Amino acid sequence: MLHTAPAAATDTIVVGARPLTPAEVVAVARRGARVELAADARARVAASRALIERLADDPEPHYGISTGFGALATTFIAPERRRQLQASLIRSHAAGTGAEVEREVVRALMLLRLQTLVTGHTGVRPVVVDTYAAMLDAGITPIVREYGSLGCSGDLAPLSHVALAALGEGRVRTADGTEADAGDALSAVGIAPLVLEEKEGLALINGTDGMLGMLLLALDDLGALLDTADVAAALSVESQLGTDAVFAADLMALRPQVGQAASAARLRGLLAGSEIMASHRDPAVCTRVQDAYSLRCSPQVHGAARDTVDHATHVASRELASAVDNPVVTSDGRVESNGNFHGAPVAYVLDFLAIAVADVASLSERRTDRALDRTRSNGLPPFLADEVGVDSGLMIAQYAAAGIVSELKRLAVPASVDSIPSSAMQEDHVSMGWAAARKLRRGIDGLARVLAIEIVTGCRALDLRAPLEPAPATGAVRDLVRRAGVAGPGPDRFVSPDLETVTELVLSGEIAGAVARAAASVTDTTEGGRA
């Protein structure tokens, strides 16, 4: 996933004053920003807790307060057994298996659960919200496993692993990444383990926080990656002697898709001032009527992906404003069962984004392939090799891109259309949103690598067009790649390190940053001349 700089020590996110923004979640999850509870948060929490305690004394059963859970909802639990009930719920539901989930995902999940807890709609005690906030600030990250959530009744297993750690049980990672016993880790930073009371177990595990956290992280990644996709496309269009006329604003206006117009405008800016582009504008020089789809339709595909990101952002923003629990404490003091924990809204957009990711990567791979085929590259050597026949150039780099794209197509198969009944048919339709989120994360990593391969290819092709100079923006990307140690045209070399280096430049945002700096330099020069 995209790498970001550590947050400054003064970065603090206030939880409970209003819904968190996507940027705030990312700051805590990725950059270690601290959290602080809003001034009135504990009062809200205490008020809803008072209602739960009154219902706990009621001889009439109330789900999750004085009864069992799920298919055992009709089983009355005596007061003296309820602490055991809550602890048993967490221990039994912490049933994750498989690989360890990434730290940033777990931190996002914890923060989002904390946000719901402080709404005053879950009925937990103030000490519960204090404990979650303290764990985040101390950098204690419970170990959560890959499999265990069906995306309905909340991300049950992942959230249960977090709750188990708050009880002082299970395993965690400390701030420096060391694996430790949860009880020991809490003790080392002065946090007392929780002893859960009525309703609190359910409140800690009934939420879409895992899938929502991964959606927010994916949106953060895709904002930069789609900008980078435009850069990669510009490198290909320029180095393959394509035309930028098809990106004209009046042509885009004939089909007023917002994302398409944005990508086309970026492509026009990226290609502005290119000697290479200027060299074949004369119809007497270039007799091709139109470019292949992979060059000509880049703004249409990239733009559709941008629009998909915008739609997913709207869904995520609504979910951030939600209080997901079951049962829930309403504003007028009722405790009601509901189905708001169902992950369908989030699961659908996670799957939608996976489709967009696969298609943007597919287009990128096709542009790379054109650059390496002498019959379609407009004068470039086969595979951009130095000594054709002896050298293979970037032939197998394209194989790598093709293999990734094939995998991304498989990952684009929706998870949310599947459902496996659970809990003795009580939970007979589930969203599979967690699975959708996990495959989207793999897809985003694959997209970054495919774009890196196109950028390596495009930069070498630009060099082969010398002495013609590229546009300032694409030239800045080529220069960044060269400064990073990726050599230009020449005899075959060990390709894998070059691909990893440029992948890191993509993931770090440096590719997009190089373009921004080049644009700023051109603006400064222009404004200076006018002055």
Which among 451, 259, 422, 432 is positioned nearest to 351, based on CA atoms? 432
Distance separating alpha carbons of residues 151 and 416, to the nearest angstrom: 9
Check if 63 is active-site: yes
The conformation of residue 181, written as its DSSP 8-state character, comes to E
User: Under DSSP, is residue 39 helix (H, G, I), strand (E, B) or coil?
Assistant: coil
Let me know the angle formed at the C-alpha of 115 by 443 and 430, rounded to the nearest 5 degrees.
50
Which among 53, 33, 58, 41 is positioned nearest to 136, based on CA atoms? 33
| 361 contacts 405 by C-beta, under 8 angstroms | yes
Joined tokens for residue 457: 């290819």
| 349 contacts 312 by C-beta, under 8 angstroms | yes
| 396 contacts 403 by C-beta, under 8 angstroms | no
- Considering the candidates 63, 132, 147, 399, report the single residue annotated as catalytic: 63
Handedness of CA 69, 72, 76, 81 (dihedral sign): negative
Which among 15, 17, 14, 13 is positioned nearest to 27, based on CA atoms? 13
Which residue is associated with the tokens 């069992």? 68
DSSP code per residue over 292-323:
-HHHHTHHHHHHHHHHHHHHHHHHHHHHHT--
List active site positions: 63
